[in-house]
Structure 1
């Protein structure tokens, strides 16, 4: 069984990708739940466990927010019926949950067959608490991400994320403003749907700075649409304040975009400074603009970083991830 939020989404989720991956490998997978309302979703998840007590494993998507309690309830129900369960960690704020709810976390992770961490960051954090944890990354299909070597860099910046305060989209505007003092033709494309009202605030902030003519707000784009759009941009910005191993950063690396990111959560475990990308302190727009400026002035350095990043991200390809799951479950 795979327990998680199986809700309608334009882009495939980890649950969608992993369940299809397992089924293509010969596993029978039942998924719970697609119920829209949270209480009904939890009840449906519980019903799934109760009516499938012959399952070999229960995979449980585990988050740090309110959905954490889905994992708590389902893990204890699996224990009741003696079914091996495997939490799959999501979200860079789970280490905070370990601190604030140690007893509840212990109920889940102490008794699991193993806990799967999609980043070395979460693996280390959970192992330090004494929980058996294995690193298996989230899979991407590299064949869908054509690598483009950018031999000449223009000051064209790409940002791909939902508009949410935790991703600090306003910082991207601040970086553009600083860059324009040296590169008046600098542009920014921000791809993503509004999640918490941040989009309107960002547009207003850009207008106050007189930068609207240099910024494209695309709204939501499908994976294929933003990959096509990425061909027109030279550098990828990630401005988040909390994160794990963002898929958008992996995708940018696969596409050949040098990444400049904030140094938070799992990102320093993913990005080696000046080798597979560049890191700056959270909220430090001046430092991010400076690092982008270095890449623009030193295209050979940018080429080397993008090539190293593409090589690194090949370990996240679906074929390699598939083998790790097969070894775990057989």
Structure 2
């Protein structure tokens, strides 16, 4: 008998989002012979929530198991409501936890978080960070890291470093894209030559892209920045390998796939040390970690990579070795 699973998540890649782990999981399950029902790909958040609930109910006779992606904020509401409906329908379901802000949300809304966690049959976290922060709500959280298909990421050891940088994330305030022009301005003032950065990611519509561009114009570094909208998953390795240094400017994070992808390509990673990132990255070994929203610290780390070839080479090879631990196989 062919098994069918219901995947409840934001299936929005190609609209205004990068593919989620659950979207990629759906493809892998189909390849393994599963039937997959997905919800939802509607762009409007309230229509999307309604579609999730409607699909969960109307398809109840077609699936044996459900998986819900759980994020903080308004996204938690649809996870909670879908979990409530699945409990009513007596359908087993799995929770997949995501987002660096989920621990803060859970401690601010403990009752509904505890209820949802208690209803689920299994709970998975992609990192020890989320497991540790949320274990008081359910001690049985299991860790399954965010995976990548390592063979699709061409590794280029960074023995000769250029000042070409890559930023790969959605344009949203929590990822702090406005840190980029501040860092570029400092690097310019320190006489770094041939600087350029490619910023790849969809616009989430909160004004952060426009804010970043305006700041870049004010700091007279806009000519150093090229913005590319979100790209298909299979093109990510190509865009990553355009540069040599990957910068992750986020203020809130867990275990971002984009950082793992950059490591797989051998880029030298400079990242903020927020959330789950210190659990993923080892400072001075496979990345350089800096405080959040600190342009001086990030610029200094980038200059170290440019000026210390041995450091760059070490970060590059160790990053690839770390990324290989996240292979699907």
TM-score (norm 2): 0.89
**Match 1:9 to one of 14, 17, 20:** 14
**Match 2:70 to one of 55, 62, 71:** 62
**Quick one: distance in 1 between partners of 2:74 and 2:48?**
13
**Quick one: distance in 1 between partners of 2:186 and 2:84?**
52
**Quick one: distance in 1 between partners of 2:53 and 2:175?**
33
Aligned residue for 1:318, secondary structure, equals: coil
**Quick one: distance in 2 between partners of 1:171 and 1:154?**
20
**Quick one: distance in 1 between partners of 2:309 and 2:136?**
40
Asked whether the equivalents of residues 114 and 138 of structure 2 are also in contact (C-alpha less than 8 Å), the reply is no
Q: How does 1:74-85 map to 2 (within 5 A)?
A: 74-85=82-93
**Quick one: distance in 1 between partners of 2:317 and 2:78?**
40
Asked whether the equivalents of residues 110 and 131 of structure 1 are also in contact (C-alpha less than 8 Å), the reply is no
Moved over 6 A (4+): none
Deviation at 1:309, TM superposition (A): 1.5
Q: Does 1:302 align with 2:307?
A: no
**Match 2:27 to one of 20, 29, 40:** 20
Asked whether the equivalents of residues 53 and 81 of structure 1 are also in contact (C-alpha less than 8 Å), the reply is no
Q: How does 1:112-123 map to 2 (within 5 A)?
A: 112-123=120-131
Aligned residue for 1:68, secondary structure, equals: helix
Q: How does 1:57-136 map to 2 (within 5 A)?
A: 57-136=65-144
Deviation at 1:52, TM superposition (A): 1.9
Asked whether the equivalents of residues 42 and 70 of structure 1 are also in contact (C-alpha less than 8 Å), the reply is yes
C-alpha distance 208-35 of structure 1, shift in aligned 2 (>3 A) = closer
**1:198-254 deviation line (CA, Å, top 9, x unaligned):** 222222211222222322233444445453243332211011111111121111101
Aligned residue for 1:115, secondary structure, equals: strand
Q: Does 1:143 align with 2:151?
A: yes
Aligned residue for 1:70, secondary structure, equals: helix
Quote the residue 1:49 is aligned against. 56
**Match 1:188 to one of 188, 193, 197:** 197
Q: Does 1:284 align with 2:308?
A: no
In structure 1, stretches of 5+ residues that fail to align are 320-330
Q: How does 1:304-319 map to 2 (within 5 A)?
A: 304-319=314-329
Quote the residue 1:245 is aligned against. 255
**Quick one: distance in 2 between partners of 1:188 and 1:6?**
29
CA RMSD, aligned part only?
2.1
Q: How does 1:248-263 map to 2 (within 5 A)?
A: 248-263=258-273
User: Which range is displaced more, 97-106 or 36-45?
Assistant: 36-45
**Quick one: distance in 2 between partners of 1:221 and 1:27?**
27
Asked whether the equivalents of residues 2 and 59 of structure 1 are also in contact (C-alpha less than 8 Å), the reply is yes
**1:285-319 deviation line (CA, Å, top 9, x unaligned):** 11111111222222122211221111111122122
Deviation at 1:37, TM superposition (A): 4.2
Would you say how many aligned residue pairs link Structure 1 and Structure 2? 319
**Quick one: distance in 1 between partners of 2:125 and 2:207?**
31
User: Which range is displaced more, 124-133 or 281-290?
Assistant: 124-133
User: Which range is displaced more, 259-268 or 80-89?
Assistant: 80-89
Deviation at 1:130, TM superposition (A): 3.3
**Quick one: distance in 1 between partners of 2:49 and 2:20?**
19
